[in-house]
Amino acid sequence: MRKFIPVLIASIIAMNGYSQKDNQAISSKIEKVTVFMQGAQVERTAQQSIKAGKYNLVFDGISPKVNKQSIQLKADGKLTILSVTHQVNFLKEQQVQDEIKQLEAQKDQWLDKIAMEKNMRNVYSQEEKMILANQNIKGDATLKAAELKEAADFQRQRLTEIYQKLQDNDHNLKKMEGELLKINKQLIELNQKKDLSTSEVIVAVDVKESSNVNFRLTYLVNQSSWFPTYDIRVQDISKPISMQMKANINQQSGEDWKDVKLFLSTGNPNENGTKPTLSPWYLRYYYPAATPVFIGGNSDLSGRVNGLAPNSISGIVRDDKGRPLAGASVTVKGANTGTVTDANGNFKMNMPPNGTILVISSVGFTSQEVVAPSGYANIALQESSNSMNEVVVVGYGTKRSDDDDDRFYDDKPYRKRKEQTAINTTTVYQPTTTIFEIENPYSVPTDGKVYTVDINNFDLNATYEYYSVPKLDAAAFLTAKITDWQELNLLPGEANLFFEGTFLGNSLLDVMNAGDTLNLSLGKDKGVVVSRKLMKEYSAKKFLGSNRTDSRQYEILVRNNKQQPIKIIVEDQFPVSTNKDIEVEKLSYDNGKLDDDTKKVTWSFAIDSKKENKLQMGYAVKYPKDKTLQLE
């Protein structure tokens, strides 16, 4: 074994010497990026004249965060790929560190110059004070006219020179401080970059014949994602809904995607694609144990194990020093819902029904998964300290296929498609995923910020209807029903609501639980007034024997202040007895529809413009007089 180790080391040194001596650099360019819900596939192309023989091809400038098992290389020349090696190159990081040192030296020079200018200003100011202090002639000295003129000329000339020097001094200081500000900004930018290294893909080849070869290098990076959001606009309830679908893209792969062909896929390469298999189900006794819920970083969230996430969640994201992080990505694990923090690190979003885990990420920080809290979230991220070692992966075939791209285009039109804005898209359907192709070249820097691109714009015919539960909220909520919505290829996501040109807030487009009709909640409409009040003159308390009877009568008012008629659904309820000693009787509900099981009452009617409708409902509850019931 001892004899083997020196031989192995000598072999490795020989191989490294061989690879460095016979390397041929290949300059490649990113042409295409397919962004998944989590991760992205990057495609680089290159054309190079290569000679016959055995040597290494080096593709540099690659992301240091490559999924090494995903590397594929295809070439159309007569060559054989012997091996593929991936290694990190820290030269770029060293170059940036050298640039920081140079900027620090320049900063010191400017600080010295600024200090000298300020000292000169003090000298001129002191001279000015001296001249002004000695301008009065004191004592009995009498100056001749020539001497007085000479003194005045000297004072005028010198003061003029001093004021000119002070003016030049102010100008120089302003210019120097401007240059110093630029250097400080550049230093802040460089110091914020946590991982500045790149990587290389080294391909050992056996070239049979010298020729020009076209290369296509593809690999997967995980530090990227996209999620959809929507803008839903309603001009008035007599016109179609305008829906704008947007993609929010961010990436921290370490390489900029500049003017690339961009594809957005609904797939996720990190998901397990193996079909499930049932195993025998053995019953055993269960002994519960208290299991703490761990939340990464310095988060003070009070997590929970069971239960659905709340409808909405808000909070703040900070760094490990307590400073707010702007532009941090907050997404729901396993869903397409997400948002980004504002300039103060704050965020607010709607949670999907099955969302329980939040994924928080920001450039230069370690991504963190936390249990969705029931209240306000205070989340802290730790600085990232990732490093990658050299690794060898298997080589792939060399023959280039002309039919690698096996997707097909569905030429079925949308119901109504609006004229596109600056960016056009094409929807591409595959057996298990949908891909949105951005037709114009697009750029996404590796800065972790979220970049928004329009995917589709629709005009949707909808049936508008108002809905109100005045017992819970004395307001009318506008809803819209859309049929044949499956043609639109929508994904779950947050929606910004605009009604009659006013922003109303956010809602959740929950297409996963929609049926044949997609129901949208478009927020409150102040143009429809709803109120519910107790009619005291018809409400009373009576005692008979050992029982008491409480009667309640309510009036619900709905007024349409809009310029067009509306349809509205109003709901209320009667109490349901859970004890034989409690009797609910004398129900009245003005042509409403009563559900016998839940005792829910529903009214559905239309109201003309500037008209109102009054509804009445009442009931009586009989129960023992020595008991107390909550009837409000």
pLDDT value at position 509? Answer: 83
Q: What is the pLDDT of residues 410-457, one digit of tens each?
A: 443 344 444 444 456 565 555 567 888 888 899 999 888 889 988 888
Looking at the domain assignment, is residue 132 inside a domain?
yes
Token couple for 97: 């560190």
What type of residue sits at position 632? E
Query: How sure is the predictor about 468, in pLDDT bands with cuts at 50, 70 and 90?
Result: very high
Residues 6+ apart with CB under 8 A from 537: none
Return the number of other C-beta atoms located less than 10 Å from residue 31's C-beta.
Answer: 15
Residue 567 CA, distance from chain mean position: 37
Looking at the domain assignment, is residue 286 inside a domain?
no
pLDDT value at position 199? Answer: 83
The bridge status of strand 612-624 relative to strand 211-234 is: unpaired
Could you list the residue range(s) of the whole structural domain that residue 357 is in? 312-380
Return the number of other C-beta atoms located less than 10 Å from residue 531's C-beta.
Answer: 12
| Contact call for residues 451 and 248 (beta carbons, < 8 A) | yes
Is the pLDDT confidence value at 532 over 70? Answer: yes
Residues 6+ apart with CB under 8 A from 155: 131, 135
Alpha carbons 466 and 570: distance in angstroms, whole number:
8
CA angle 593/598/602 to nearest 5° reads 25
Looking at the domain assignment, is residue 515 inside a domain?
no
CA angle 521/524/530 to nearest 5° reads 120
Alpha carbons 106 and 32: distance in angstroms, whole number:
40
**Residue 345 DSSP symbol:** S
pLDDT value at position 231? Answer: 92
Query: How sure is the predictor about 4, in pLDDT bands with cuts at 50, 70 and 90?
Result: very low
Alpha carbons 632 and 630: distance in angstroms, whole number:
6
| Contact call for residues 230 and 493 (beta carbons, < 8 A) | yes
The CATH number covering residue 594 comes to: 2.60.40
Q: What is the pLDDT of residues 297-312, one digit of tens each?
A: 433 333 332 333 346 7
Cα torsion for 137, 141, 144, 145, to the nearest 10°? 20
pLDDT value at position 375? Answer: 66
Query: How sure is the predictor about 6, in pLDDT bands with cuts at 50, 70 and 90?
Result: very low
E strand spans, 484-576 = 493-499, 502-509, 517-524, 528-534, 540-544, 547-560, 566-573
The CATH number covering residue 341 comes to: 2.60.40.1120
Least confident of 134-143, 556-565, 569-578: 134-143
- Look at 209 and 154; give whichever has higher pLDDT: 209
The structure tokens 């000695």 sit at 134
Q: What is the pLDDT of residues 358-384, one digit of tens each?
A: 888 876 778 888 887 766 788 888 876
Task: Identify the domain boundary among 357, 380, 403.
Answer: 380
The bridge status of strand 493-499 relative to strand 211-234 is: parallel
CA atoms within 13 A on the CB side of 248: 22
Looking at every residue in the chain, the average pLDDT score rounds to 78
Token couple for 398: 């060399």
Token couple for 291: 């299991």
Looking at the domain assignment, is residue 451 inside a domain?
no
The bridge status of strand 53-62 relative to strand 23-26 is: parallel
Looking at the domain assignment, is residue 404 inside a domain?
no
Write the CA distances from 40 to 34, 62, 222, 265, integer angstroms: 5, 14, 6, 9
Is the pLDDT confidence value at 147 over 70? Answer: yes
Is the pLDDT confidence value at 343 over 50? Answer: yes
Alpha carbons 589 and 73: distance in angstroms, whole number:
74
Would you call 107 exposed, middle or buried from its count of C-beta atoms within 10 A (0-12, 13-18, 19+)?
Answer: middle
What type of residue sits at position 534? L
Which long-range CB contacts under 8 A does 109-115 form with residues at least 24 apart? 110/176, 110/179, 110/180, 110/183, 111/180, 113/176, 114/173, 114/176, 114/177, 114/180
pLDDT value at position 385? Answer: 55
Q: Which of 126-135, 141-150, 527-536 shows the highest mean pLDDT?
A: 527-536
Looking at the domain assignment, is residue 26 inside a domain?
no
Token couple for 353: 């029904």
User: Total domain count for the chain?
Assistant: 3
Would you call 180 exposed, middle or buried from its count of C-beta atoms within 10 A (0-12, 13-18, 19+)?
Answer: middle
The structure tokens 């007085």 sit at 148
Token couple for 566: 């509306």
What is the full DSSP assignment across 311-328?
SEEEEEEE-TTS-B-TT-
Least confident of 453-457, 531-535, 600-604: 453-457
| Contact call for residues 588 and 616 (beta carbons, < 8 A) | yes
Alpha carbons 96 and 291: distance in angstroms, whole number:
46
Question: Which candidate, 325, 194, 322, places its Cα nearest to that of 252?
Answer: 194
Q: What is the pLDDT of residues 218-252, one digit of tens each?
A: 999 988 899 999 999 988 888 888 999 999 999 88
pLDDT value at position 320? Answer: 82
Token couple for 625: 């007089």
Q: Which of 49-53, 149-153, 337-341 shows the highest mean pLDDT?
A: 49-53
What type of residue sits at position 221? V
Alpha carbons 470 and 568: distance in angstroms, whole number:
12
Alpha carbons 618 and 588: distance in angstroms, whole number:
5
Is the pLDDT confidence value at 2 over 50? Answer: no
Question: Which candidate, 71, 64, 20, 77, places its Cα nearest to that of 44?
Answer: 71
Q: What Rg value do the Cα atoms of the chain yield, rounded?
A: 37
| Contact call for residues 622 and 547 (beta carbons, < 8 A) | yes
Task: Identify the domain boundary among 327, 361, 380.
Answer: 380
Token couple for 498: 């605009």
Looking at the domain assignment, is residue 582 inside a domain?
yes
Looking at the domain assignment, is residue 495 inside a domain?
no
Query: How sure is the predictor about 20, in pLDDT bands with cuts at 50, 70 and 90?
Result: very low
Which long-range CB contacts under 8 A does 158-162 form with residues at least 24 apart? 158/127, 158/131, 159/128, 159/131, 162/124, 162/127, 162/128, 162/131
Query: How sure is the predictor about 268, in pLDDT bands with cuts at 50, 70 and 90?
Result: confident
Least confident of 3-12, 120-129, 321-330, 536-545: 3-12
Q: What share of the chain is helix, strand, coil (3-state, %, to 5)?
A: 20, 45, 35
Question: Which candidate, 502, 486, 414, 416, places its Cα nearest to that of 240?
Answer: 416
Residue 91 CA, distance from chain mean position: 32
Task: Determine if the pTM surpasses 0.95.
Answer: no
Task: Identify the domain boundary among 361, 380, 399.
Answer: 380
pLDDT value at position 9? Answer: 38
- Look at 414 and 347; give whichever has higher pLDDT: 347
